[in-house]
Amino acid sequence: MVPVLASATGLPGDTIWNETYWTEPWQTIGAVVNSLPLAAVITTFGIAMKRWWLTAFGLAMLVHIGLDLPLHGEDAHRHFWPLSDWRFISPVSYWNPSENGRFGILVECAVVAAGSAALWTRFPKRWVRLFVGLAVAISAAMVVLNWLAPPAFGA
């Protein structure tokens, strides 16, 4: 994710996460894509309109938020936007070693591995398995990088 953002913005990773992340419009974008009320509305509309893709998108948002909420420390999102700007500051970060990030990254990796195994067996198509393998590789790389060279983001 960092290399993509860095190349798209021309900014180094530490600038993106220590400065840009905390400014507008990034904070509002983060609130929108991590909003429980918005995800619930999208899921409800998907079900009501019998649109499987909209329902799947809403449910994917809800699963992401459910896993995201307990794994963000000082960089927590506004998960109840637009109803509230409150943020749950978790004692466990998914990346920051000073906020139990080594444990958090292992939890995240375990969830990715379990979900990937389910997708791998459910969808035998080569392109699906390519993306599943890519997700596992990225997660494994995040674990290795977090253990060997903890990121300086948010420091």
- Contact indicator for 134, 141 with CB cutoff of 8 Å: no
Q: Give the chain's end-to-end CA distance (angstroms, integer).
A: 19
Higher pLDDT, 32 or 103: 32
Would the pLDDT of 47 be above 90? yes
What average pLDDT does the segment 91-101 reach?
Answer: 83
**pLDDT value for 39:** 98
CA–chain centroid gap for 148, Å, is 21
Rounded CA-CA distance 101/107 in Å is 10
**pLDDT value for 121:** 92
Q: What is the mean pLDDT of the chain?
A: 86
**pLDDT value for 20:** 87
What average pLDDT does the segment 107-115 reach?
Answer: 84
